[in-house]
Structure 1
């Protein structure tokens, strides 16, 4: 498909740009949209939000198709995903956040475990490191955990401080890839696996969390965080407004992840 080809061609060596050149976006004070130039004239649009003095930056990789619908003015057409709708909570805790959209609205299902997408995640991490002189963490949710695992597996030494995998796709479904497709054995940074005991998504089973952790054999430290609860406002068990997306327990989940990040910062 043409869009897939464009994504794969455009996933090399972004040129990080300062936030001064970005457009102010609504939602979080100081939030901005930034278009990162990629190869072949393509751009990677990201949403960047940060407190005055970030303690860390979290590159947040959405689930689903990955398309958050980020417009020029910062409006989001698909803002329900966990990592998108909670960005103000992360900023309030002292973290900067980088949330990428897809290139040309490409559906990322089936592409997140590719070497080309690993390179793009690396570009996002380098961009984050330019914006704030603070440690960079990768965080993926659901399908986005595949991207986070892939990015961590291929990141050069010193680029990222850790990886966080939330409600990870661990069983094969329509995307034909899982976190096990993304070289977990090559992850060499600390890792956190978060699993909601009440998640009913058939491809992201909470009982698989220990197996995901065990697959990261080269990581110096792998932790598993279990949470429980959530509200179901979706017809799909894998939807964002369900226990799978931590709907209704966002603050608890972010607090647990935040404590893990803070330990890494000491």
Structure 2
């Protein structure tokens, strides 16, 4: 179980709660043959832990004191929100290379995501959910597709890349039929990114034939910005709280169902 150090990163977050309630630590790990740095942010006794897999190049730039060089991604910048809602968050940096584009759908990266899930579960003692946004949705789906029973409790895909672009991969390069856990898909009707059109969400859901349940939720809004950038409707800029609440409520419903 976790023994947290004081959280300089949490204190620096806008609206962060005092470190007595939410704390964080940086760990340098060796997982699946990779040197992997992670940031773990958690409240006391989290009821679940989310392995957050950001988009773009995946280079978060985790510094030894917990500060981030690149913290704009939706899943990264909402870590304190999730922690305040009672969830632990594990954020990995790019492992082995500074650019994960084109690698997230590979068997080797799937192994790494599953190793991250195992670490997150061991450290927190909480059920593990994989969450990916944009390009990171490929990684999350890849990790869930090969996860042994009982190791992953659910999968969250937000603004998933469904059309091949510069990375030459999409969620459809993953064996989505092999995902055997509940899935939440969030799609923003105002997302203008050409590789993650919101009308592809039902197609992703239809491919998840092995999942016990698939929930598709559409949102709208977000402040204007670069079409595929984090600070735009693609990254839920301005509607972060709404999306965090959707994800949190869905996870709580899965936990309640599992407890019956």
When normalised by structure 1's length, the TM-score is 0.89
User: 1:146-157, aligned counterparts within 5 Å?
Assistant: 146-157=138-149
Aligned to 2:160, the other structure's residue is in SS state coil
Q: Does 1:26 align with 2:9?
A: yes
Name the residue aligned to 1:262: 252
Q: Does 1:158 align with 2:150?
A: yes
* Alpha-carbon separation, structure 2, partners of 1:100 and 1:213: 26
Residues 1:217 and 1:47: Cα distance change in structure 2 (over 3 Å): same
* Alpha-carbon separation, structure 1, partners of 2:82 and 2:184: 17
- Cα offset, 1:25, TM superposition: 4.1
- Cα offset, 1:132, TM superposition: 1.6
Q: Does 1:38 align with 2:28?
A: no
User: 1:1-266, aligned counterparts within 5 Å?
Assistant: 19-20=2-3, 24-27=7-10, 29=19, 30-38=23-31, 42-232=34-224, 234=225, 236-266=226-256
Aligned to 2:88, the other structure's residue is in SS state strand
Deviations 1:47-66 (Å, cap 9, x if unpaired)? 10111110100000000000
Deviations 1:187-213 (Å, cap 9, x if unpaired)? 010001100000000000000000000
- Cα offset, 1:24, TM superposition: 4.6
Residues 1:107 and 1:23: Cα distance change in structure 2 (over 3 Å): farther
Structure 1 stretches of at least 4 aligned residues deviating more than 6 Å after TM superposition: none
Residues 1:186 and 1:21: Cα distance change in structure 2 (over 3 Å): same
In structure 2, the gaps of 5 or more residues are: 12-18
Name the residue aligned to 1:11: none
Aligned to 1:50, the other structure's residue is in SS state strand
Residues 1:116 and 1:22: Cα distance change in structure 2 (over 3 Å): farther
* Alpha-carbon separation, structure 2, partners of 1:259 and 1:23: 29
Aligned to 1:237, the other structure's residue is in SS state coil
Residues 1:147 and 1:64: Cα distance change in structure 2 (over 3 Å): same
- Cα offset, 1:225, TM superposition: 0.7
Q: Check the 8 A contact 2:55/2:136 in 1, yes or no.
A: yes
Q: Which moved more, 1:126-135 or 1:142-151?
A: 126-135
Q: Check the 8 A contact 1:167/1:194 in 2, yes or no.
A: yes
When normalised by structure 2's length, the TM-score is 0.91
* Alpha-carbon separation, structure 2, partners of 1:39 and 1:154: 14
In structure 1, the gaps of 5 or more residues are: 1-17
* Alpha-carbon separation, structure 2, partners of 1:153 and 1:22: 34
Aligned residues: 246
Q: Check the 8 A contact 2:32/2:112 in 1, yes or no.
A: no
Aligned to 1:151, the other structure's residue is in SS state helix
* Alpha-carbon separation, structure 2, partners of 1:260 and 1:120: 25
- Cα offset, 1:22, TM superposition: 6.9
